[in-house]
Homo-oligomer: A and B are copies of this chain.
Amino acid sequence: MRLDLPLVDAHCHTVVADSPDRAAFELMLGEADRPAPEGVSYADSLLGLAVRRWCAPILDLSPGTGLDDYLARRESLGPEEVGRRLLGAAGLSHLLVDTGLGNDAGRAGPGEGGGFWSLATLAAASSADVREVVRLESVAERLVDSGVDADDFAQAYVEALRAATREAVGVKSILAYRYGFEIDLSRPSSDEVTLAARGWLDSLRSPDAAADAAAGAGRQVRLDDPVLLRFVLWCGVDRGLPVQVHTGFGDRDLRLPRVNPALLQPFLEAVEPTGTPIVLLHCYPYQRQAGWLAAVYPNVYVDVGLTVSHVGARAQAVLAEFCELAPFGKLLFSTDAYRLPELYAVGVAQFRHAFGALLSTWRHEGAMSAKDAERFARQVGSENARRLYSL
């Protein structure tokens, strides 16, 4: 079946304003953060093939055009035109943008700062309604420069989060990158938070850190204290908006065995009485575990973003695993696009192609009716997100 309805991209990021060269393009494509060894190209992957397949025609090239020719065409069109074409072709009704990456400086009032597109530019290119998802850890990291002291930290965070999320449709946790889920995730006490804030703020404001900052060494403000990570997560829950939680693969900054979403069970149970929905992002290779969580916890949802793009031609097989236990009313499409506008186009094309083919297969073998298939396509591609994020 043709799955051509306008989609809600329920988790994505901004894109770079410049034209990357081949080396940079290959790194922006995947999750590696340093060059491949001699003889290996990151673009020789299912994701790289998917870019050549789906994006080349949008730039007037044949599907499958080689990467050098693709990048030459990209260069000749210029990054603005490339971005406009790739985002414009995607057919997205909404972009729910995690502003904690790329556009951080411009979050309060998005501009073209830092070499990334503003939310306004994203909106213009995609003709979509752009809404914000606020990264919980970033709000804490931005507090450091405000001079807040430890005793006031908790209150200041709650206020900062309220201000930051005034227009937001959701919040996001990257605990997966800072600690993983093999940790007590209960709500910390006020005293614990104050104590932890003191330790964290002191370390950032030590003479050494100040000297580094003064020397332009780019002080690394990174929330990694486990008590504070739990604290901001629970502030997110209290805020009442859906909480997107990074689970499963990503870049090497996480430990894969510790980001299995099933490790979140005690947390999911603790959250349940609040009624706040939890959205498990990505999940791979734990998509089956995630499907089970969505089947047994009413407030748990699963977002297929990142995974569907990265596994390219395998998207149909992997999407099928997401569907094994999860009710269709709990599954959400997203691209998790970041840096390259190609990742918007690929995420969308791969989902339309693969989920469409999956539903068709099931329909033709008698597992569902045409009406069911259409309904599930609408749910996963759009309606679930509209309902969950109140779009």
Count chain B CB atoms within 10 A of each CB in A31, A43, A318, A368 and give the residue with the most. A368
Using Cβ atoms and an 8 Å threshold, which residues of chain B touch A37?
277, 298-299
Asked if A284 is at the interface (CB within 8 A of a chain B CB), the reply is yes
- What string of 1s and 0s marks CB contacts (under 8 Å) between A308-321 and chain B? 00111110011011
Copies of this protein chain in the complex:
3
Q: Do B257 and A262 touch (CB < 8 A)? A: yes
Interface residues of A in 346-374 (CB under 8 A from B): 362, 365-369, 372
Using Cβ atoms and an 8 Å threshold, which residues of chain B touch A44?
327-329, 375-376, 379
Interface residues of A in 301-341 (CB under 8 A from B): 310-314, 317-318, 320-321, 323-330
Q: Do A263 and B257 touch (CB < 8 A)? A: yes
Asked if A106 is at the interface (CB within 8 A of a chain B CB), the reply is no
- What are 16 A-B contacts defined by CB distance under 8 Å? A35-B298, A36-B329, A39-B387, A41-B329, A44-B379, A45-B325, A48-B327, A49-B372, A53-B366, A53-B367, A255-B265, A256-B292, A310-B324, A312-B324, A312-B367, A313-B365
Q: Do A45 and B298 touch (CB < 8 A)? A: no
Closest Cβ of chain B: how far from A350's Cβ, in Å? 10
Give the interface size bracket for A toward B: 35 or more
Q: Which residue of B lies closest to A358 (CB)?
A: B313
Asked if A61 is at the interface (CB within 8 A of a chain B CB), the reply is no
Asked if A64 is at the interface (CB within 8 A of a chain B CB), the reply is yes
Q: Do A46 and B255 touch (CB < 8 A)? A: no
Interface residues of A in 255-280 (CB under 8 A from B): 255-257, 260, 262-263, 265, 269, 277
Asked if A296 is at the interface (CB within 8 A of a chain B CB), the reply is yes
Q: Do A295 and B262 touch (CB < 8 A)? A: no
Asked if A110 is at the interface (CB within 8 A of a chain B CB), the reply is no
Using Cβ atoms and an 8 Å threshold, which residues of chain B touch A368?
49, 53, 64, 313
- What string of 1s and 0s marks CB contacts (under 8 Å) between A123-166 and chain B? 00000000000000000000000000000000000000000000
